Amino acid sequence: MCKTSKASLRCHETRKAFGATSFCPDYLVSSLSMSFRVNFRKARIFILVLLIIGISFGGGYYFGVEGFRANVTKALQVSISRQVPPNEKVDFSLFWQVWDTVSSKYYDKTKLDPNQMVYGAISGMVSSLGDPFTTFLPPDQNKVVNEDLSGSFSGIGIQIGLDKTGELTVEAPLPGSPAEKAGVKAGDFIAHIKDVKKNVDIDTPGIGLGEAVADIRGPVGSTVTLTLIRDGNAPFEISLVRAKIDVPSVSLTFVGSSGQIADLKINSFDAKTPDEWNKEVDQILAKGGVTGIIIDLRNNPGGYLEDAVDLTSDFVKVGSTVVIEQDSSGEKVPYATEKTGRLLGLPVVVLINGGSASASEIMAGALEDLIHAKTVGTKSFGKGTVQEPIDVDNGAGLHITIAKWLTPNGTWVHGTGITPDVVIDNPTATEDAQLKAAIKLF
C-alpha cells in the first residue's frame, strides 16, 4: 500500500495490481501489497548512503514518451571510485577483490555489464535486511511498478506478492483477465516463469517481486508460461497470452431482496480510486432508499494509504483517526479524516480474505474500530508496514519500509491479519457464500 500526499502523486503508486501485481505493487502489487510514502528530499539523502561503494552514474540515455524499455540498448556511463564515504567504518576490500576477480577472470566478457553489476550489488545490500517489502528496482522493473498503480497495463492480469515465507504467490486473478479465464487461482504458488522470446527461463525461489513482475509482464499477444503449485499438489504448467489490462478500481452493484443494499467492490487503491469511488457514492445517494453498505475488499492487495483514509471518511465523523503510523523511534502520527462523511449512519459490512492486504486492512480495521462494522470472509493477509517509494537516479527505484501502521484502537495486524466476525470459507461453492452471509447481517 502506498502512502503519499495527493500533491506528490507524481512519484508513483506502485504497487498494487500486478499484471503479473499486486507490487504493489503493491503490487506490484503490485504488489507488491505495499504501503508507500513519498519524500523526495529524503531520496536525495538516502541515495548517497545507498551508493556507499562510490558508484556515480553519468551519461544516460534518452527517455521518451514511451518510458523505459525492458532491454537497455544504450549503456550508462559508469565512473567508479574506491573511496569510502566519510564516517563509514566499512572495509570494502572484499567487495573490490570480488569485483576485480570477476572482471578479469570471468570467461564471457560480453556479460560484464558494470551497470548490472552495480544494480546487483545494491539489490544484495537491500535484501540483506531480510524484509521482502524493502526492495531495489532497476529502471525496467521500476517502470513496471509505476504502471501498475496507474490502473492500466499489458500483462496476464494477476496480482502477485510474496507470502510470509518469501514464496512468489498469486494474490488474485483480475476479473476478466487471461489468468482468470485460464483458471489461475488465488493462493497458487508460481514456481517457474518461462518466456522464449524474452529469453526468460527461471525458477522463482529467491526472486524479487519487481523482477518477477518484469518477467511475467510483456507485449499484448505474447505468451508466458507459468509453472504453478496449488494446494501442495504436483506442479503444472499453464501458458497465458498477454492482453491489455484495464480494471476499474471501484465498482457498484445493488443486492438484497429489493436491491436496497449497495455492494461497493474495491479492487485496489490506485490513482483512479478516489474519482471512481466518488462516482459510485453519487449513484448511491441518487438512488435513495439504501439501507446498508457492503465494502468488498476481497483480493485487494492495497495501494495508497491516503486513499484508504479518504474512502473511510465517508462513514465516520470529521477528525476521526483512521490509521496511526509509528516510526522506528516509536513516534506515532495519526491520520484523520478531513471531510464530512456522505454515508454516515448506514450499517456497514466488510468482506475480506487472504488477498486483502495493507490499505485494505487499514480500511477494514478502521471501520471495525470506529463504527463497529462487521467483517465476513476469511482472515486477511496481515501486512502492517508502510513503504516509501523513492525514485533514485537513472529511473531506478527504492521501496523502503519506514514505519508500521496501527488501527485506530492501536492494533498491529502484521503477520496475524484481521479475523472476520463471520468466517465463511467455501471456495468450491457455486454461489458467493460470503456475499450471501454479508447480506443476511442487515
Q: Which residues are catalytic?
A: 358, 369, 383
| Contacts (Cβ under 8 Å, ≥6 apart) of 91 | none
| CA–CA dist 412, 382 (Å, integer) | 9
Beta bridge partners of 399: 135, 389
Displacement of CA 4 from its chain's centroid (Å): 14
Strand partners for 376: 351, 422
Answer whether 138's CB lies under 8 Å from 119's CB.
yes
Cell digits of residue 345: 449512519
Say which residues have a Cβ less than 8 Å from residue 309's Cβ, sequence separation at least 6.
322, 323, 335, 336, 337, 362
CA 134 to chain centre: 12
CA distance 402 to 35: 10
CA–CA separation, 262 vs 347, rounded Å?
A: 11
Cα–Cα distance, 169 to 158 (Å, whole number): 10
Is residue 414 within 8 A of residue 383, CB to CB? The reply is yes
Helix H segments across 326-421? 359-371
Cell of 133: 517489502
Tell me, letter by letter, the H, E, C secondary structure of 31-67: CCCCCCCCCHHHHHHHHHHHCCCCEEEECCCCCECCE
User: Measured between alpha carbons, how far is 300 from 126 in angstroms, rounded to an integer?
Assistant: 27
Q: b vs e for 35-62, b when ≥16 Cβ sit within 10 Å of the residue's Cβ? A: bbbbbeeebeebeeebbebebebeeebe
- d(CA 272, CA 150) in angstroms, rounded, equals 7
Q: Which among 267, 286, 252 is positioned nearest to 359, based on CA atoms?
A: 267
Cell of 85: 564515504
C-alpha cell of 163? 507470502
Give burial (CB, 10 Å; 0-12/13-18/19+) of 162: buried
| The C-alpha cell that represents 175 in the structure block | 476479473
